[in-house]
Structure 1
Amino acid sequence: MKFSGSHILSVEQFERADIERIFAVADSMEPYALRQKVTRVLEGAILGNMFFEPSTRTRVSFGCAFNLLGGEVRETTGFKSSAIAKGESLYDTARVLSGYSDVICMRHPQEGSVAEFAQASRVPVINGGDGANEHPSQALLDLYTIQKELRDKGRSLDGLRIAMIGDLKHGRTVHSLMRLLGLFTNLQVVLVSPEELAMPEEYVELLRGLGHRVDVSSDLANSIGHVDIVYSTRIQEERFGSKEEADLYRGRFRLNQAIYTQFCEPNTVIMHPLPRDSRSDANELDNDLNQNPNLAIFRQTDNGILVRMALFALILDVADQVDKFSRPVNWYHSRTF
C-alpha cells in the first residue's frame, strides 16, 4: 500500500510486504522509545486523539508515540465532552477537527463509525477500535510481538502455532489478528471459547481457505499443550446486554502458573491485549504468572509504542528523516524493554 497520507482503518489494507515495512520502521524506533535519542521530526504537527469509548493503553500510547516523534497531542474523551452530545454528526465533527489536526486517531463504540468519519476527514485517520469490528494497530503490535518473541527462539511467523482463548465473538483484537495471520504460511490455530462466544465463522473460514489448520475447542487444558503462543482475552462485558449475561462466562478459562506448568511447553509465550480482568471472579491471567519470563503482556505494551511510532512516520512520510532530526537524551533514564 501507499502509506503516505493514507487512512489506517482495517488490516485488510495490508499485504505481507506492508507488514514487513511497518515492522522494519518499528525496529528503527527503538532508540527513541528507550529514550536513548530524541527526535523532533514531527515538530509542529498535531495529533487529534478522539476516544469516545474508554481506553488507557491505546489512547496514551498513541499520544506518547506522537510525542516521541516531536509532535503535539490534543484529546477528546467521551461523548459528553464533545459536540456529538449536542447532536453534531460524525461528518461535521470530522470536517471541523481535521482542520485542527495533521492526523487523527479515533475510537468509537459503533462498527464502521471510524470509516464513516474518515470519509469526511481532511487528514489521515487511524482506527483505534470501532465496536466489535476491528483494532488494526493492536493486531499489528500483537503480530510484531509474536515475531520478536519467535525471533529470539530462532523462529519466524511462518509455521506459527497459536491458541486464542476467551471471548472470541466480541474481541476485535482477535478478529484483526486472524486476518493478519492469513498473510503467513503453515499456521496452526486453536480457538478456545464457550460455544456462545466462538470466533465468527468468517474468520475461521478465511484461514482454512488459505490452507491453515484451525481447530475449535472449549477445552483449555487440551488446547494449550503444543503451541508457541497462548493469547488470552477478557470477557467483553461492554458488548453484552447486561453484566449478568457477561458473568455467565467470566472466569471460565483461567490460566495460572500451575496450569501453565502442567499443560504448556516450557517456552510457550503468554499474551493478552489488556486490560486483563484481575477481579477474583475472572482473573483470566493469574498474578502468579507475573514473574514468569514467558509472560509477554508488558512487552506487548512497549511494542505498541514502536508500532504506532512507525505508523505515524509512514503516514506522515518522515520514516527516512527521523534520525536527521535526532539528538542524544540529556536526562537520566532507565528504560529497557
Structure 2
Amino acid sequence: MPNLRAIETFVKALEGGSIASAARQLGISPAAASQNIARLEKELGTRLITRTTRSMALTEAGERYLARVAPVLDELERAQSDLSLIHGELQGRLRIACMTAFGRHVLAPLLPAFAAKHPRLELELLITDRNVDVLKEDVDVSVRYRDALEPGMSVRLLVAVPRVLHASPAYLREHGTPQTAEELLQHACLVYRRGSDGRFMRWPFSRDGKPVEPQLRIGAVATDIDSLVEYARAGGGIVWAGSFITQRYLQNPGSSPLPIAERYVQEGQLVPIHLKPARKGQLQFDPQPLDFFACFRDRKYVPSKVRALVDYLVEVLPQQPGMQRSQ
C-alpha cells in the first residue's frame, strides 16, 4: 500500500497547482515532493499526473484516484484535530494570513499570549496585502477587512476599528483645518490604493443619505497605509486611517498590552479632524469603522485549532485601545 506521505504530496500538489506548492505546504524540497509522487505512481503502476515544464494535469487514473483519496485525507486531518481536544492540547501548524497593517500593529502583538496557552501549536504568519489563495497556500485562517472579502467565503466578524481623519499640526497651521466635507475636498487627501487589485479605498461621502463620489484633491497615493500616515505626520496632507495605526501602543513587559508612552496623537504629531454634521443637501463625510473578519477555507468544518484562535481574537480584540466590539 502506498505510504501516506506520498498520497499527501499528490493531493497537495493538485490543490496548490504545482509540486513546488506541495513542497512548501509540507516543508520539504521540490525534489523530495517530486520523488514522493513518482514513488506513488510506481507503487500504483500507473501515471497520475502529466507534467510539462509549465503545467501539470491529471490523467484519467489520476482523477479517479484523487476523488477517492482527497476526502480520506480531509477526514484524517479532522480526526487529528479532534483528537487533540481529547488530550487537552492543540497541536500542529496554524498558518494565519493577515492584511499588512492590521497584522503588524494588532495581530502580531496579541499572538504570543495565545501561543503561551497552546505551546504545541506552531504559528506561522503570512503578512501581505495581496489576495491570498487560502487553498493553494495552505492557509488555515485569513484576516481581512470587508472590502477584501471574496464571494463564497465563510467568515466571522472579529472587530470594528474606528477610522479617523488626521493631519499634522504643521499642515493645519499652513492650510487650515477643514470644518465640512466640502472644505475637506480642497485639501491634500492621502489615498490608499490596494496593491492586490489597484483600486482606491473609497472615501465615504454622501448627500442626503445617498452615496456620492466627489473629486478628491489627491496629495499622494500609496499601497501601504503606514507610509501614508508617515507622509501625513511629515506635513503632506490629510490621511484617513484606522485608529490602530495612528495610535501606537507599546507592550508593557510582563503584562498585557497597555496604552503607554507612544501615541502620535498624544504626542501632538497628528491631530484628529472631526467635521461638522451636514445640513440637508450638503455633502457629508461618513467615517464608517473598518470591519475585520476571520475567513475560513471550509465552511462545513473548522478545525479546533482555528476555532480556538478565532474565539480568542473575538474575546481580546475589543479590549484593545480604540477598538469596538463587533455587532
Which category of TM-score, normalised to the shorter sequence, fits these structures? Answer: under 0.3
TM-score, scaled relative to structure 2: 0.26
Greater radius of gyration (CA): 2
Higher strand fraction (1 or 2):
2
TM-score, scaled relative to structure 1: 0.25
